[in-house]
Amino acid sequence: MILEPIINLVELCAQKGVNHAILSPGSRCAPITLAFVRHSEIHSRTISDERSAAFIALGMAQQYESPVALVCTSGSAAYNYAPAVAEAFFQQIPLLVITADRPPEWIDQWDGQTIRQTDIYGKHVKGSFTFPDEYTHPDKIWHANRITNDAINLAMQYPPGPVHINIPLREPFYPEKNESFAFNSKVKNIEILQGSASLSDDSKQKIASKLKIFNRILIVPGQQRPNEKLEKVLNIITKAGNAVVITDTISNLQSEETVNFHDHFLGKEQIEEKLQPDLILSFGKSIISKNLKLFLRKSKAEHWHIQEAGQSPDTYQSLTQTIHCTAIEFLNFAESHFQSNLEFVSNWKSIDQSIKNSLPNLLSNAEFGEYSAISRVLKAIPDQSKLHLANSMTVRYVNFLGARRQEVICNRGTSGIDGSNSTAVGCAMTTKESVTLITGDLAFFYDRNAFWHNYDTPNLRIILLNNHAGGIFRLIDGPAKQPELEEFFETTQALNASNLCKEFDFDYNLVHDEEGLDLALEDFYKSSLRPKLIEIKSNSSKNAEILKHIKAEISKKLENF
């Protein structure tokens, strides 16, 4: 069959665990689309908007922890994948990005839907591959098979991430009416048997020896999925007074033993003097808190980063050692070699506990706005819900509010507002548990095509904070002081979600105050045949005032520390 390498590509996807595909309609990609649709072991869905499609695939791959295939036609369709591809690269989420292309002789010849697709995603993919442009010679078929194996294997190797296969195709694209696709289960499958990096005896001796000189240790987990074993060992370490564990909400390791309210007190010099570490231990990916980043960058402590392989970031400008193993292996070994410092741990925990005790009263006495609304919403979310947070103020508010019970998901690879809706939709397609998205109005309306598809997501719940502006700019000194703030930074808009909810058949509730929100939340998580959305209307300038007031009150309470 003339399309044998494409059929084999799909068969290899199935054999290697790529069991889900998000397809966007087009003519040039028809043979690839049909091969995915006709394979019995692959669940294919079609999403018309490529930008949304890619973020939906990202949301799925994040949960499955295995690659999801993306397929689109030639031309600008491929470029629309770029934001999600970059996000997947920095979040280390595996995607198999497959783009149909014109044959090479037609590039730059003003042929329709033709752009320069080779290496289109630049350095934001782990690898970029181009299929042969014809399959008449056996070596061409062998080459296509080798590319497919290399690409899928690379996507899954640590650190996982997106890979790109560009496939030039000539007409005819479509099989004959009654032509079937014969998938060959004996197609050559090049397997990789993966191990994990482990500490050698020599490395253990060096680590144990170095740990003897440190007794003010900060453990800083970055973004990752929940891990009960990690949480357990971290709690043991901090209970023993051996280290302080500082957790942002996206670490998914917050507990009663960790420091969760650091965003409220870091940045205050008189407090920071008592909290200086001599060793920073980090693992996972990025953190949210700018105050924490600045505190660690000013610190004179050594910084050890723990990861299985790959390039190590120097986020805090003090990296002195990279340790190639899993975080759980390192901590299980290092636990018995930490030097206890109860005073250091107590300094951190007492400040953290003070804020934890004060914040609920400050919120209950504050005017109704985004801050108090999110606090009330978080109390209503079921423990087993997946919690998606849009960027800008939403994720920061939740970080201010401390520990979460739910798995927290946020696109912090590139930290853009694009794709928040779509990522949550992709997640909702992987589970029957409720998936809650808390989002601001700009992120929500920017990605409204996330809901433009034919698939049921009755478990999706959306909390829309609509202040009709990009409120975060009122909290940044630069734009907040400019006369052009409202038009050119906040980009004030007058939209609400009522029409969107009618178009996409969502349950819709508009609230303006605490009573309305509490009433709307009463049955928000009851089973439904369709998604539900609560729109919380507030004022951007008032939200900024409330946040500044609460910060000022907390600062007063910290004067005694």
Q: How confident is the model at residue 469 (pLDDT cuts 50, 70, 90)?
A: confident
Contact (CB, 8 A) for 423 and 59 = yes
Residue 160 in tokens: 């996982």
Contact (CB, 8 A) for 525 and 383 = no
Give the three-class secondary structure for 514. Answer: helix
Contact (CB, 8 A) for 500 and 448 = yes
Distance of CA 106 to the CA centre of its chain: 38
pLDDT tens figures, 349-361? 999 999 999 999 9
CA 279 to CA 290: how far, in whole Å? 19
DSSP string, 133-201: S---SHHHHHHHHHHHHHHHHHHHSSSP-EEEEEEE--S--SPPTTPPP---TTS-------------H
CA 218 to CA 243: how far, in whole Å? 6
pLDDT tens figures, 413-446? 999 999 999 999 999 999 999 999 999 999 999 9
Residue 458 in tokens: 């009755």
CA 219 to CA 363: how far, in whole Å? 29
Mean pLDDT of the chain: 93
480-484 LR contacts (CB < 8 Å, sep 24+): 480/544
pLDDT tens figures, 46-91? 999 999 999 999 999 999 999 999 999 999 999 999 999 999 999 9
Q: Which pLDDT does position 484 carry in this prediction?
A: 73
Contact (CB, 8 A) for 443 and 471 = no
Q: Which pLDDT does position 86 carry in this prediction?
A: 98
Q: How confident is the model at residue 2 (pLDDT cuts 50, 70, 90)?
A: low
Q: How confident is the model at residue 179 (pLDDT cuts 50, 70, 90)?
A: confident
Contact (CB, 8 A) for 111 and 168 = no
Return the exposure string of 232-241: e unless at least 16 CB atoms fall within 10 Å of the residue's CB, then b. Answer: ebbbebbeeb
Contact (CB, 8 A) for 277 and 304 = no
Q: Which helix (H) or strand (E) holds 528?
A: none
Mean pLDDT of 245-272: 94
Distance of CA 372 to the CA centre of its chain: 25
Q: How confident is the model at residue 386 (pLDDT cuts 50, 70, 90)?
A: very high
Mean pLDDT of 275-291: 96
Q: What percent of the chain has pLDDT over 70?
A: 97
Question: For 156, phi and psi rounded to 5 degrees?
Answer: -95, -15
CATH topology of domain 201-352: Rossmann fold (3.40.50)
Mean pLDDT of 19-26: 97
Instruction: Say whether pLDDT at 101 is over 90.
Output: yes
CA 380 to CA 382: how far, in whole Å? 6
* pTM (two decimals): 0.94
CA 230 to CA 37: how far, in whole Å? 40
Distance of CA 326 to the CA centre of its chain: 20
**Residues in contact with 367: Cβ distance below 8 Å, sequence separation at least 6, in sequence order:** 542, 546
DSSP string, 356-377: HHHHHHHHHHSPSSHHHHHHHH
Q: How confident is the model at residue 494 (pLDDT cuts 50, 70, 90)?
A: confident
CATH topology of domain 366-560: Rossmann fold (3.40.50)
Instruction: Say whether pLDDT at 1 is over 60.
Output: no
**How many Cβ atoms are within 10 Å of 534's Cβ, its own excluded?**
23
Mean pLDDT of 154-159: 96
Question: For 424, phi and psi rounded to 5 degrees?
Answer: -65, -40
Q: Which pLDDT does position 471 carry in this prediction?
A: 62
Beta strand pairing status for 302-307 and 319-324?
parallel
Mean pLDDT of 368-374: 95
Q: Which pLDDT does position 427 carry in this prediction?
A: 98
Q: How confident is the model at residue 195 (pLDDT cuts 50, 70, 90)?
A: confident
Contact (CB, 8 A) for 363 and 375 = yes
CA 178 to CA 474: how far, in whole Å? 62
Residue 45 in tokens: 């869905």
Name the residue ranges covered by the structural domains of the chain.
4-168, 201-352, 366-560
Q: Which pLDDT does position 14 carry in this prediction?
A: 98
Q: SS3 letters for 455-483? A: CCCCCEEEEEEECCCCHHHHHCHHHHCCC
Residue 38 in tokens: 């006709």
Torsion of CA 438, 442, 444, 449, to 10 degrees: -160
Mean pLDDT of 220-234: 97
pLDDT tens figures, 292-321? 999 999 999 999 999 999 888 899 999 999
Give the three-class secondary structure for 15. Answer: helix
Question: For 510, phi and psi rounded to 5 degrees?
Answer: -105, 130
Residue 254 in tokens: 């917050």
Burial class (CB in 10 A: 0-12, 13-18, 19+), 108: exposed
Return the exposure string of 27-45: e unless at least 16 CB atoms fall within 10 Å of the residue's CB, then b. Answer: ebbbbbbbbbbebeebebb
Q: Which pLDDT does position 194 carry in this prediction?
A: 78
Q: What would be the CATH architecture of the domain defined by 4-168? A: 3-Layer(aba) Sandwich (3.40)
Mean pLDDT of 465-484: 73
Q: How confident is the model at residue 197 (pLDDT cuts 50, 70, 90)?
A: confident
Residue 472 in tokens: 């975060």
Q: Which pLDDT does position 472 carry in this prediction?
A: 67
